[in-house]
Amino acid sequence: MYMNNKMIVCAVLLVSCFFSVVSASDSFVSYELFPDTAGEHINAHGAGVLEREGEYYLYGECKGRGNARGVSCYKSTDLYNWENMGMVLTTVDTPGDDIERGCIIERPKVIYNAKTGKYVMWFHLELRGRGYAAARTAVAVSNSPVGPFEYVKSFRPNSGIWPMNYPEEIYKAYSDCVKNSGSWMSDGDIGVFLARDIKPGQMARDMTLFVDDNGKAYNIHASEENQTLHICELTDDYLGFTGRYTRVLAGMSNEAPAIGKYKGRYYLLSSGCTGWAPNAARSAVAPTIWGPWRYEGNPCDGVNPHNKLGPDKTWGGQSTYLLPVSGKSGCFVAMFDVWRPRDQKDSRYLWLPAYINENKLVVVWQGDWSLDWFDRLDRKN
Ligand code: GAL
């Protein structure tokens, strides 16, 4: 076939375009666009990662300009290159349905249940038209990591049940002597919101899941008007709550929780409560999942050169997940979202190295790094 010069230039452009789209990545580049294997910015916000049989599955909020239309899934073998597996849970058009289009689906996380062979997704659900008032936790289930996930139910957990570390008697004794504190934080501390919600069930907003070495799984979420985190044990099939739960950092306004474990200790990464705007990250450590949790302050170090923000604004990000690095005990990829509330699908990601040093969580700014960064680490543990 005869090709003139223009056609040859076009062909070269097409071929180079094709190769630039499929060219593989071998590092994490924070804050900039995060292309999937088709070259599209990854649309999985408030995400978590499931590792299963040598493959990684990333689940997150699939956003439009505004709230999520459902949950997206991406697959990878190396954590750098992600293939879009499509939507695994989508809002529906049925009026009155819990996940009716217009509802808010946030921070989905998926875990695998070895006993049932099912993939279980939990997420924060807000019912259509009610802003953030419903504050429910919701569950969906699938036979495959790439879905589709079948929606099961949503609810406010632990109705009628007092937490293990804060039974009704303690609440009564404590609230009697500190009545009328007049301060939101003290009210959270005293358990005013906890007591208010004993009957209808506790609020459940920003959330994560954690599976312990013994297979027990936990749903950890911001409760009590976002004043206090609750760590709640899931049933053996991971589809419900057992009623065993504990309050963590009462009255300290933590959200965006993420949990990791190293040498028998549990590490919490979280944020303060300032909506889409960034604030300073927090951390805490505990000898058991039930506590006692000791507050350890801001674990972040370094400055993001793009926006000149450092630890006091978490580089512009908010935590979403601590992904254990396979074969590198005590090392994590700490995942954060940089929210862009006016065009949410354009929200960016910070995936940064995190590790445990001297029984504390440390998260370090790195603009462009790969997992061998951990090989050069000098840790005292
Ligand atoms: C943040 C929260 C996000 C989202 C947002 C809405 O504090 O972490 O997941 O709920 O508020 O304003």
Q: Tell me the per-residue pLDDT of 357-375, one tens digit each, with 9 for 90 and over.
A: 999 999 999 999 999 999 9
For range 109-126, the mean pLDDT: 98
Residues near ligand 1 (Cβ within 6 A): 46, 106-107, 206, 255-256, 273, 275-276, 318
CA distances to 160, 162, 220, 221 from 245, rounded to whole Å, are 12, 8, 9, 11
pLDDT reported for residue 27: 97
Counting ligand 1 atoms within 8 A of each CB, the residue from 227, 273, 276, 321 with the most, and so the one to mutate, is 276
The per-residue pLDDT of the chain, averaged, comes to 93
Residue nearest ligand 1's atom 1 by CA: 275
Distance 170 CA to ligand 1 centre (A): 31
What are the pLDDT digits (tens) for 36-50?
999 999 999 999 999
Q: What pLDDT score was predicted for residue 8?
A: 54
pLDDT at 67 over 70: yes
* DSSP 3-state of 16: helix
Place 184 in a pLDDT band, splitting at 50, 70 and 90.
Answer: confident
Taking only the tens place, the pLDDT of each residue in 239-286 is 999 999 999 999 999 999 999 999 999 999 999 999 999 999 999 999
The pLDDT, as a whole number, for residue 68 is: 74
pLDDT surpassing 50 at residue 1: no
pLDDT of 7:
56
Evaluate if residue 81 carries a pLDDT over 90: yes
Residue 19 pLDDT grade (very low, low, confident, very high; cuts 50, 70, 90): very low
Q: Which one-letter DSSP state was computed for residue 309?
A: B
pLDDT at 350 over 90: yes
Counting Cα atoms < 13 Å in the Cβ hemisphere of 175 gives 17
User: Best substitution site from 106, 282, 340 to test ligand 1's pocket, by max atoms within 8 Å of Cβ?
Assistant: 106
Q: What pLDDT score was predicted for residue 179?
A: 67
- Please, is 215 exposed, middle or buried when counting C-beta atoms within 10 Å of its C-beta (0-12, 13-18, 19+)? exposed
Of 64-78, 133-147, 158-172, 329-343, which range is least confident?
64-78
Exposure pattern of 365-377 as b/e (b: 16+ CB <10 Å)? bbbebebebbeee
CA–CA gap between residue 142 and residue 239 (Å, rounded): 11
Residue having the nearest C-alpha atom to atom 8 of ligand 1: 256
The alpha carbons of the chain give a radius of gyration, in whole angstroms, of 22
Amino acid 180: pLDDT:
61
- What are the beta bridge partners of residue 138? 123, 154
The CA distance from 153 to 122, in Å, is 10
Cα of 107 from ligand 1 centre, angstroms: 9
In single-letter form, the type of residue at position 274 comes to: T
186-241: pLDDT as tens digits: 888 899 999 999 999 999 999 999 999 999 999 999 999 999 999 999 999 999 99
**Residue for token pair 């509330």:** 341
| Residue 2 scores a pLDDT above 50 | no
What's this model's pTM, rounded to 2 decimal places? Answer: 0.93
Taking the CB of residue 208, how many other CB atoms lie within 10 A of it? 26
For residue 311, the 8-state DSSP code is: G
pLDDT exceeds 70 at position 11: no
Interval 81-100 mean pLDDT: 97
Cis peptide before 324 (omega within 30 of 0): no
The CA 276 to ligand 1 mean position distance, Å, reads 6
What is the whole-number distance in angstroms between the Cα of residue 146 and the centre of ligand 1? 26
Where residue 378 falls among pLDDT bands split at 50, 70, 90? Answer: confident
**Cα 189 to ligand 1 centre (Å):** 22
Average pLDDT of the residues in 341-355:
97
Q: Would the pLDDT of 18 be above 60? A: no
